Structure 1
Amino acid sequence: MSVTHVGGPTVLIELAGWRILTDPTFDPPGRTYEFGLGTRSTKTTGPAVAPDEVGPVDLILLSHDHHADNLDDHGRSLLPSAGTVLTTVPGARRLRAPNTRGLRPGQATTASAVGRPDLHVLATPCRHGPPLSRPVAGTVIGFAVSLAGSPRTAVWMTGDTVLHRPLRRAARHLDVDVLLLHLGAVRFPLTGPLRYSMNSTDAAGLLAATRPRVVVPVHYEGWSHFSEAEERARENLHADRLPAGTTVTWLERGRAAALALHGP
C-alpha cells in the first residue's frame, strides 16, 4: 500500500491497483468557513498536492459533505470524475450524483473493477461531537476497506469522531493493518471545552481496542479549529505508550509512503 498525505483529512491511497482518495480538500489557505450556529474555522495551510496532480481516482471515501475541512470547493470539483463516491445517506441525497452511494453505519458495499480484486467497504460509526450533538454536527461515517478474500481490514479511516461506545465496539471487531486516525481535538470558542473530534489521549484508547499494525495520524493540522498541538499528539502516541505490535507513521505531506500489508 502507498499513502500520500495531501493535507488535513485528504489522503491518496494506492492499494492493489485501486486509487482511493479520502475527504477531498484542495482549497488554498486563508479563507474562513462557516460550520453552522456561529462556529467557523480558517484554513491555515494549503494542500501539498494540487487537484490536477492527483490523477485518476477510482473511489472517494467521503466521511461527510457538509463541513469544508472535509469537502471544500476544489475537492467537490473532483467528485464527478471519480469512479465511485461513498458517503453518508444524507450526503448522497445532497450531492445527488449518479456515482455516489450513501451508507449507514454497519452497512457494506463492494467496489469492483476489471483486473483488480474487489474491495469490501464497511461504514463505521462516528459521532462528530459530544452526546446529543448529531442534530447540530450532522451525520458522519468512517470506512473499513478490505481486499476480497482477506479477513483483515487493509485500511480503516476513522472519520471525524470522538471516542464513544459504538466506535469502541466497531474497533474490537476489526483486524486492522493501517488505521487513518483523524485527530485534532476540534474546538470552537462559542462552545468552549466541548470537543468535536478525538484528541490523542482518546486515540490511545481506540488503539487499545483495535490494536492496528500501523497508525497514520491525519487531520490534525492546517485549520484554526484544532486545539491539540502536533507535539502533544506525538508525545501521547509515542512508541512506549502503544499496544504491542502497533507502530505510528507520521507522514510527510505530499510524499508517498509505502506501508506493508500483512498476509492473510
Structure 2
Amino acid sequence: MRAEATFVGNATVLLRIGDFTVLTDPAFGPAGSRVSLGYGLFTRRLRDPVLDCLDGVDLDAVLLSHLHGDHFDRAARRRLDPRLPILTTPQAERRLRRRFPNVRGMPTWEAHQWTRGDQRLRVTAVPGRHGPGIADLLLPDVMGSVVEFAVAGRSRLTLYVTGDTLYRPGLAEIPRRFGQIDAMLIHLGGTRVLGLLVTMDDRHGVELTRLIRAGRTIPIHCDDYRVQKSPPLRYLSRARRDGLASVHPVSRGETVALPLRVPGLP
C-alpha cells in the first residue's frame, strides 16, 4: 500500500494514494509564461514545472482550489482530458463546465468520494479565504480540501490541502471535524497583488502549521511566480525556531511519502 506526493511545481502535486491518483491545481506552463490574475493583472512564471512525472499517468480526478492562472493555466487546459472529473468551487464550476463537463462545484463541507474494491477516497471542501477583509470579495472563491483514505472501513490517511487561504483562527474547525491530520500540503509564498497579501507568508504559515499539527507538513506554492514575495527559506527558518519538527521541504520532481496509519491503531 502506498501513499505519496510528487511535487510538480507551484501548487501542482501528483497524489498516489492506494489505488487512486489525483492531481492538484494543474499549472503546466514553462518559465517565462504569463498567467492572468484577473482584472487585467498578470504575473510571469519564474521556474519550470517538472512534467515528465505525469507521463503515462492515469488520473482519477483533479482538485482545483480556485480559478487563477497560476493554478489552472492554458497549458494544463490543453493537456488534460476534458472528461476528467474536477472538484472545485461552485464559482469555478460555472466557468469550466462548458469545456470540462464532469467538473463539480463543492460548497464548504460538502464531500465526494470514490470506491475501488475495499478502498475509499473521500474529498471534503473546507474553508479558505484568499484576501484580507473586503478585498476577498474581489478575488476568486477558494477552497481547501481534506482527502481521507480508508481501507476496509479503517482510516489510513487524512491529508489537508490548504489552497490559497490566509491564516485565520477559524481554520481550527478543520482538525475539530476531522481529528488527526496526518499530512498537510500548505500553500505559502506571501503572494502580494497591488500590495495586498493574498497567500500565507512565513508568519501565517507557521501559525497554521502550529494550529493544524499535522504529522507531516509539506510547503508548496512558494517561489514559482513573480508575485510570490516570501521565499520558502523564511518559512523553514521560522518553523525551525518554533520547534515545528514536522515540516518536510520538497524539491521539484521529488516524491515524498505520506504517513499511512498502521491498521488497527488509532
Instruction: Rate the CA distance shift 1:78–1:123 in 2: closer, same or farther, 3 A.
Output: farther
Q: 1:237 aligns with which of 232, 236, 239?
A: 239
Q: 1:104 aligns with which of 87, 93, 107?
A: 107
- Deviation of 1:108 after TM superposition, in Å, equals 1.2
Corresponding residue number in structure 2 for 1:80: 81
In structure 1, list runs of 5 or more residues that go unmatched: none
- Deviation of 1:147 after TM superposition, in Å, equals 1.5
Corresponding residue number in structure 1 for 2:192: 187
In structure 2, list runs of 5 or more residues that go unmatched: none
Corresponding residue number in structure 2 for 1:90: 91
| Partner-residue secondary structure (3-state), 2:94 | helix
| Partner-residue secondary structure (3-state), 1:93 | helix
Instruction: Give TM-score scaled by structure 1 length.
Output: 0.89
Corresponding residue number in structure 2 for 1:158: 162
- Deviation of 1:121 after TM superposition, in Å, equals 1.0
For 2:215 and 2:105, the matched residues in 1 are separated by 29
For 2:51 and 2:7, the matched residues in 1 are separated by 9
| Partner-residue secondary structure (3-state), 1:68 | coil
| Partner-residue secondary structure (3-state), 2:81 | helix
Instruction: Write out the 4+ residue segments of structure 1 that deviate beyond 4 Å after TM superposition.
Output: 150-153
Q: How does 1:25-64 map to 2 (within 5 A)?
A: 25-50=27-52, 53=55, 55-64=57-66
Moved more, 74-83 or 12-21: 74-83
For 1:37 and 1:92, the matched residues in 2 are separated by 19
Aligned length: 256
For 2:156 and 2:259, the matched residues in 1 are separated by 13
For 2:93 and 2:140, the matched residues in 1 are separated by 13
Instruction: Give TM-score scaled by structure 2 length.
Output: 0.88
- Deviation of 1:151 after TM superposition, in Å, equals 5.0
Corresponding residue number in structure 2 for 1:178: 183
Moved more, 128-137 or 163-172: 163-172
Corresponding residue number in structure 2 for 1:258: 257
Corresponding residue number in structure 2 for 1:137: 139
| Partner-residue secondary structure (3-state), 1:40 | strand
CA contact (8 A) 2:33 2:44 kept: yes
Identity %: 31
CA contact (8 A) 1:3 1:12 kept: yes
For 1:128 and 1:195, the matched residues in 2 are separated by 9
Q: Which amino acid aligns with 2:248?
A: T
For 1:228 and 1:135, the matched residues in 2 are separated by 24
CA contact (8 A) 2:93 2:104 kept: yes
CA contact (8 A) 1:79 1:85 kept: no
For 1:78 and 1:164, the matched residues in 2 are separated by 35
